[in-house]
Structure 1
Amino acid sequence: MSGIRRLVPGLALLVVCGLIARWLAEFVPLGSPLVVVIGVSALIANAVGIPESAEPGVDTHGRWLEAGIVLMGASVGLERLIEAGGPVLLVVVTAVCVSIVSVEVLARFLLPVPEKLGSLLAAGSSICGVSAVAAVAASIDPDRRQVAYAAGTILLFDAVTLVVYPIVGRTLGLSDLVFGVWAGATMFSTGPVTAAGFAYSQPAGEWAVIVKLARNALIGAVAVGYATYYSRDGGSEAFTGMRLLRIWRTVPAFIVGFLALVVLATLGAFSSAQIAAMDRVSSWLFLVAFAGLGFRIDVREFFDVGMRPAAVVLAGLFVVSTSVLLVLRAVF
């Protein structure tokens, strides 16, 4: 019980921020509570800071995001996944490959940074943000400062793309499908992708999450690929079976939960009332999760992140986002 009591102040803070955001969203043109709550919590974090007693509860925000995605699976029909399977998989694989290659080329030849830092930036921008940075770092043993630089750069672009993508989407008049697939295929981390998608529309949010989960599922393959590359000359720890197991354990478990609810809902395991209830709970979980996401936005990162890593990621993001958007607009 003492462990649970430690979480109460932070959880209460997240809920209060969510309630404030739902109220403020009524007065913000085109405002979504999911985006407003990030702004509210980020303002609090950077203006007055987070009370130490609230830190443990705030740190649970990632779990609430995962739980919300799992419950969202009940309202996503299996037929949609099957229908989208081929095209979405093609878009995801293409986006991941283009992102990795472009960032690696930029980092090695055009805007040179240390080799392993470039690989961390490529993994973070192509798969699932800081989670991919951590997974690949576990497989290639970079300098700790390189991990910090890569993580800081990715978090910087998470904050920027969360705001910029919906603006670009509305300016270009993108359909819900195109915007959702575009955001899911090219933005970095699951939280900002989900927030941007649902800020655009409910269907766009669902498509963004589906595509993003497909990308997340590739984290193990990319980590293994980098481990194999860096162990070719004995420059890093031997590529053992235990290491392979440790890398594959980084594959997000909530993807399995999401797919399980998709299948159960398709088989009729839930009534329409139960699905509606899970959808409402999912919306609240997202709201609480994004409050925590906002609390982790530090404006000092805009000044602390080195210019060259940021330039590498910016150029890579421009290449992959533009190319994917052009393809999507041509196809859809």
Structure 2
Amino acid sequence: MSDDTVVASKFTWSDLLKKEDWWAIWAAFIIISLAFISNFTELFNLKAVKPQKWGSAEAPSILSSFDGIMPNLLFLLIGLVILFGLGIKIMEGKSTKFSIGFVGIFILATFAYFFANHYLIGTYLGYAFWALGLGLLICNTVKTPEWLKPAIKTEFYIKTGLVLLGAEILFSNIVSFGMYGLGIAWFVTPVVVIFMWLFGTKVLKMVSKPMVMVIAAATSVCGVSAAIAAAAASKAKKEDLTFAIGLTLIFTVLMMVFMPLGLKAIGMDPIIGGAWMGGTIDATGAVVLAGEALGPEAGQVAAMVKMIQNVLIGVIAFAIAIFWVTRVERDPNGPSVGISEIWHRFPKFILGFIFASLFFSFIIEPGLGTETTNSVLKMTKGFRGWFFCLAFISIGLESNFKEMAESVQGGKPLTLYLVGQTFNLVLTLLVAWLLLSGIIFPVPTLVF
């Protein structure tokens, strides 16, 4: 370890204002604070509006998507420019170019939400697909304009959104499905991550270890959100994250459509089928849709398993960060990594994620009740969606297809995903059957 690294590992109080990880935490908790103020007072109504549903008999026209929300959209734009612009100003000393570029990225994100909120299209292709697609289209055709580039702050948007996501991960969800959900979600998930890591690095011998970890997290936990957290924790390249998200989105749609059809065809028990889909289909929204397609019982079980699995996002990200610092990035011939160096390299936004989850799980929900908690989280969830959408736009604007093709490494990432997802499907089905078939344990009835 060089002298420069040793010096860099020393913490200074200025890091709290100069480092992006800390600013992601501050920005997220500013949103949370404003949500509480809005909920308990009438000073203002905090609402992260987005284009509304359109394309149905009730709202047939394109203009229906923007009916009555334009003033609120403008207010949201101004608020986000101030929020992120303040951080950029303090960290980098300049914000004018950022503010101009942010307007363009915000408009692109608005269009992504617009396409995703079509009644038919939005059922299959969410905002992440459209945001990433719009960014990729621009980058690989007309090229990303120079004036947009100062606002491409992918990690800043991602980290802030992840801290807000932590607030939504409530440990009370674990209680509702008890040990059944824990067995399906918490046993299978780390086993799949470890299996895919060993398969990708030892068998496939993939060069990009961060890509292995991002694909493993996306496959085993909850798709896009887990991929983002793993990418930040393992310092993955944007190309790695883009490829993993692309794989996840494609197979999520396929599994969402064909799994319930197949399970109906073979007459699988809806409780086991719901748990199976909840533990293997990546996106929470897709899990709910697939579960409901199989039946109301399957829908409830699938949602429970997925929510319990989502709790692991922070745990997995924390474990990846520690593993990366102490094993992957460590020089085998060098000295052991000390606590100060682990702290220096550790992504601090994960602390914000965990704190937000613990704060809402053990202080806010018990103290203020579920109704108030859900009301506040409804506001923060809207902002979290916008931050992820801005991140996907930014990723697309920086991702060149030629560079992405070079990262495919001979098709190994696709092989990793297919083998890992197959292992995930088999193991999850086995555990779900053992726990929910009634042969070994009684079938749970509390969720119906």
Give TM-score scaled by structure 1 length.
0.70
Q: Aligned pair in 2 of structure 1 residues 17, 76: CA closer, same or farther (>3 Å)?
A: farther
Look up the equivalent residue of 2:418 and give its one-letter code.
F
Q: Which runs of 5+ in 2 are unaligned?
A: 1-81, 87-95, 218-225, 264-272, 290-302, 433-448
Residue 111 (structure 2) pairs with residue 17 (structure 1): yes
- Indicate which of 185, 191, 208 corresponds to 1:88: 185
Report what 2:175 is aligned to: 79
- Indicate which of 215, 223, 232 corresponds to 1:125: 215
Q: State the identity %.
A: 10
Q: Which protein, 1 or 2, shows the higher relative CO under an 8 Å CA cutoff with sep ≥ 6?
A: 1
Q: Compute the displacement of 1:103 (Å).
A: 0.9
Distance 2:147 2:178 in 1: 46
Report what 1:240 is aligned to: 338
Report what 1:165 is aligned to: 252
Aligned positions, number: 298
Q: Compute the displacement of 1:134 (Å).
A: 6.5
CA deviations on 1:72-108 (whole Å, 9 max, x unpaired) are 2369635248644454332122112101111122244
Q: Is contact 1:15–1:288 with CA below 8 Å preserved after alignment?
A: no
CA deviations on 1:291-313 (whole Å, 9 max, x unpaired) are 53144133515753244x35332
Q: Aligned pair in 2 of structure 1 residues 161, 52: CA closer, same or farther (>3 Å)?
A: same
Report what 1:179 is aligned to: 277
CA deviations on 1:270-294 (whole Å, 9 max, x unpaired) are 4515513522540453145225314
Report what 2:127 is aligned to: 34
Distance 1:287 1:177 in 2: 30
What RMSD in Å do the two structures reach over aligned CA positions? 3.8
Report what 1:212 is aligned to: 313
Q: Is contact 1:74–1:261 with CA below 8 Å preserved after alignment?
A: yes
- Structure 1 SS opposite 2:411: helix
Q: Compute the displacement of 1:246 (Å).
A: 2.6
Q: Is contact 2:163–2:350 with CA below 8 Å preserved after alignment?
A: no
Q: Is contact 2:174–2:182 with CA below 8 Å preserved after alignment?
A: no
Q: Is contact 1:152–1:305 with CA below 8 Å preserved after alignment?
A: no
Residue 374 (structure 2) pairs with residue 275 (structure 1): yes
Distance 2:375 2:184 in 1: 29
Greater C-alpha Rg: 2
Q: Compute the displacement of 1:136 (Å).
A: 5.1
Q: Compute the displacement of 1:249 (Å).
A: 4.2
- Indicate which of 298, 322, 332 corresponds to 2:422: 322
Q: Aligned pair in 2 of structure 1 residues 321, 170: CA closer, same or farther (>3 Å)?
A: same
Give TM-score scaled by structure 2 length.
0.55
Q: Aligned pair in 2 of structure 1 residues 55, 260: CA closer, same or farther (>3 Å)?
A: farther
Q: Aligned pair in 2 of structure 1 residues 154, 262: CA closer, same or farther (>3 Å)?
A: same
Report what 1:3 is aligned to: 85
Distance 2:143 2:242 in 1: 18
Distance 2:165 2:355 in 1: 11
Residue 324 (structure 2) pairs with residue 223 (structure 1): yes
- Structure 1 SS opposite 2:368: coil
Distance 2:231 2:112 in 1: 29
Distance 2:256 2:209 in 1: 29
Q: Which runs of 5+ in 1 are unaligned?
A: 138-146, 184-192
